[in-house]
Amino acid sequence: MTDSIRQCGVAARAATSRLLKPSGWQIVTGLVAVLIIVPLSVLLLAWLDPAWDIWQHLRETLLATLLFNSLKLIIGVGTGTLLLGVSLAWLTGACDFPGRKIFSWALLLPLAMPTYVLAFVFLGLFDFTGPVQTQLRQWFGNGIWVPDIRSAFGVVIVMSLALYPYVYLLARNAFQTQGKRGLEAAESLGCTPVSGFFRVVLPMARPWIAGGATLVLMETMADFGAVSIFNFDTFTTAIYKAWFGFFSLPAAAQLSSLLVVLVFIFILIEQRMRSRMRFSQSRITARAERIDLHGWKRYAATGYALSVLLIAFLLPALQLLIWTLNIFSEEFDKRYIELLGHSLGLGLAAALLITSVALLLAYAGRRHRDRLTSNLVRLATLGYALPGTVLAVGIFIPLAGLDNLLIDTARSLFGIELPPLLQGTIAVMLIAYLVRFMAAGFKPIDSAMHRVTGNIDEASRLMGLRGLRLLTKIHLPMLRGGLLTALTLVFVDVMKEMPITLMTRPFGWDTLAVKIFELTSEGEWERAALPSLTLLLTGLIPIVLLMRGADK
């Protein structure tokens, strides 16, 4: 008994010592976590001084619409992506039909197209004056009814087509290991093929489907570009209007805090639902025997997969190419090269910064496996769940306050009138990117870090390698693949990112994404095609990486 008490006391003193004397790696992790804590705190503290006049205006004119539109998007896009993603995942993962090997990776291609690009291409194609409706009126007369693309229905269709690959990619991995065994087991218990699919096969894949659906709904709540192009008011567009329309940062911060609350409520619900799930697999296998479709079902499966690919990627990409060829000689000038240089420079700078910090986080998590470090790492990578508009507001306010403090201090102490040091600089953008895309850089590096065994570390320490020398001499060469993946993913994400760049960029510092926003705001679809095609080609890079693991 005495020994047990003594051991508990020793453990308590050791834990207290770690808290009072954290290591350098824990300090680094804590500083990165602060980048998440500060903007969230600023947004919540904004309620200490509510912008009552603006809130009165919003309550009377817009608040109910924001809530209703956000609910429609969540339900509509969630349903659409589940229908498309799960059905296509089942066909390519568990069935065999003509073209399956091609569709298994080709159906990922819509991931390369930013949602806001697909949005304006659909408007250009399917609007009243677009080529599709014009041709239909010529064939069937002016009285033909066509759904209005400029509606909630249009936004849901576009975002479902753009985001279904998140569900498809994860669900396909689940169905691919099941093959026809799950369906055969259900049929042996008296189920029909249809009821067996819904009662046995689908529940077995539920964790993967839920993971993909979670990513979809996060992207839906965070989307700014597509909803702004459709003039479909949501919290993200309202935050932008409050800042740049009403010129009220407090109102923008308070709206952002509401969106943060909605996001975290959804995260808690999803985690609670997942914690109640218990799944196991009887044996590990890479692939199972497929269901060979016969007769008309073979061609129906091919036609369905081809139709989705055609509408979600091939037709929009072809339209972008046609528009680009029409205006290439006019738009490919020094201004375009400048925009491209800004986008490439920002993407490269952010990729290097985020990958470097992510490497430090992953190494800190490896060196210190205590609960404090684990929670700090988890907090530091939480920014991916926050919409870009929210981060733009939450980061700009404290940096602007720090800027004003430095200017006032220099004026009062030294009589020097300093210009703004942080506001309107690339540093603000890079900090926002660091918070937003840390998870994209951390996960590939952390996965690669877990493949480095502890025996390697022990052998290296026997040779006198510790700390940074151990990281640079031993770990870095072994992490090359993970580092390259992290650099690529972050680079592409930053290239396509719109709201943070739009809201925090220096004056006159435009990028391809900002140019697309400006042109589409004026209905200049053709002129927006060249920068959009550039981003599309850039977005194909991570798809190529994913294709390496696709079934061929």
Q: In the chain, where are the structural domains located?
A: 24-61+332-521, 63-233+293-326
DSSP letter assigned to residue 147: -
Rounded distance between C-alpha atoms, residue 361 and residue 352, angstroms: 14
Contacts of 141 (CB under 8 A, 6+ apart): none
Structure tokens at 419: 């210009």
What pTM was computed for the model?
A: 0.82
Among 253, 250, 216, residue whose Cα is nearest residue 235: 253
Q: What is the residue-averaged pLDDT of the chain?
A: 81
> pLDDT tens-digit profile of 271-281?
666 555 555 44
With residue 257 as reference, give the H or E element that holds it. helix 249-275
> Given this chain, do its domains 24-61+332-521 and 63-233+293-326 carry the same CATH topology?
yes
Give 510: exposed, middle or buried? Use CB within 10 Å, 0-12, 13-18, 19+. Answer: buried
**Angstrom distance (rounded) from CA 460 to CA 519:** 56
State how far the Cα of 187 lies from the Cα of 22, in Å rounded to an integer.
Answer: 59
Q: Is 508 left (phi over 0), alpha (psi -120 to 50) or beta?
A: left
26-42 pLDDT per residue, tens: 787 888 888 888 888 88
What is the per-residue pLDDT across 191-247, written as a single tens digit (0 to 9) for each? 766 676 777 777 777 778 887 888 888 889 889 989 999 989 888 888 888 888 777
Q: Identify the residue with better confidence: 21 or 39.
A: 39
| pLDDT reading at 310 higher than 80 | yes
- Ranked by mean pLDDT, the top range of 162-171, 279-288, 450-459, 478-487 is 162-171
Residues 523-536 have a mean pLDDT of 91
Cβ-Cβ contacts under 8 Å for 280 (sequence gap 6 or more): none
Looking at the DSSP bridge assignments, the partners of residue 96 are 292
What is the spatial distance between Cα 299 and Cα 297, in angstroms, rounded to a whole number?
A: 6
Please give the pLDDT value at position 82.
94
- pLDDT above 70 for 296: yes
User: How far, rounded to the nearest angstrom, does the alpha carbon of residue 313 sit from its chain's CA centroid?
Assistant: 19
Q: Considering only CA atoms, give the Rg of the chain.
A: 26
Right CATH for 63-233+293-326 from 1.10.10.10, 1.10.3720.10, 3.90.1150.10, 1.20.120.530: 1.10.3720.10
What is the per-residue DSSP string for 46-114? Answer: GGGS--HHHHHHHHHHTHHHHHHHHHHHHHHHHHHHHHHHHHHHHHHHHEE-TTHHHHHHHTTGGGGS-
Tokens representing 102 are 């091609």
What are the tokens at 74? 């969540």
* pLDDT of 551: 46
Return the pLDDT at 286.
46
Q: If you count DSSP H runs as helices and E runs as strands, how many of each does the chain have, helices first? A: 28, 2
**Where in 309-464 does DSSP place strands (E)?**
none
Query: Which pLDDT belongs to residue 282?
Result: 44
| Average pLDDT score over residue span 495-508 | 88
- Model pLDDT, residue 509: 84
Model confidence at 422: pLDDT above 50: yes
Residue 88 has what pLDDT?
A: 94
Token duo for residue 491 = 């680079």
Q: Which fold has domain 24-61+332-521?
A: MetI-like fold (1.10.3720)
Q: Which token pair is 313? A: 């990627």
Whether 21 and 372 have beta carbons less than 8 Å apart is answered as no
The pLDDT confidence band at residue 187, using thresholds 50, 70 and 90, is low
Element (H, E) at 292: strand 291-292
Report the distance separating Cα 430 and Cα 348, nearest Å.
11
| Whole-angstrom distance, CA of residue 355 vs CA of residue 326 | 39
- What distance in Å separates the CA atoms of residue 290 and residue 124, rounded to the nearest whole number? 41
Q: What is the pLDDT of residue 459?
A: 62
Query: What stretch of H or E contains 135?
Result: helix 131-140
Tokens for 307? 């139709």
Percent of the chain's residues with pLDDT above 90: 25
95: β partners? 291
